[in-house]
Amino acid sequence: MQALGVKPRLKDRVMLAGERRTFQQAPVIVTHSKMVASEICENYGVEAARVRTIYPPVDATRFFPLASAERLAARERLGLDSGLVYFLFPSMGHFRKGLDIALSAFGRLKGTAARLLVAGRPADG
C-alpha cells in the first residue's frame, strides 16, 4: 500500500495489525527478496537478525542458456530481431515493481539497440 501511495482503509488497518502481531511473534521470518525483508523490518519493527532471505529456485532443466544457434532460432520463433538486446520485465503489479522507472531509463537510451519486453499482464498507459 505504501509503494502504491494508497491510504489504508479500516479493513486494511485491521489486517496490518494482525500482520504486525504475527511478525513480532515469529522467531524467524523468511522472505523471497531483500526488498521484502527491508520492508518487513522498516514497516513492522522487526529486527533484521530475525529475517532470512531465500531466493526462489530456478528449474535448471527448463531455464538455461541456449547455444548460439538455438538462441537465434528462439528469437526467430518469437519474432525478435537478432540485432537487438532485450530486457524482460516480468510483473503482475507493474507500478509496484517499478515499470515507470524502467520506462524512464529506456527513454534515455537514445540510439541503443535495446528493447524492454513487459510480461505478465498488459501495461497500463
The whole-angstrom separation of Cα 87 and Cα 115 is 6
Query: Tell me, what's the pLDDT at 12?
Result: 86
52: which DSSP letter? E
Question: Which long-range contacts (C-beta less than 8 Å, at least 24 apart) are formed by 32-41?
Answer: 32/56, 39/2
Contacts of 4 (CB under 8 A, 6+ apart): 95, 96
Determine the distance from the C-alpha atom of residue 48 to the mean position of all C-alpha atoms in its chain, rounded to a whole number.
Answer: 21
Tens digit of pLDDT at every position of the chain (125 positions): 676 677 888 998 899 899 999 999 999 999 999 999 999 999 999 999 999 999 988 898 998 999 999 999 999 999 999 889 999 998 888 877 888 888 888 888 888 888 999 888 776 64
Answer yes or no: pTM beyond 0.75. no
Tell me the three state secondary structure of residue 112.
Answer: coil
* Host H or E run for residue 116: strand 114-119
Query: Tell me, what's the pLDDT at 120?
Result: 87
Pairing mode, strands 29-31 and 114-119? unpaired
Contact 96, 4 (CB under 8 A): yes
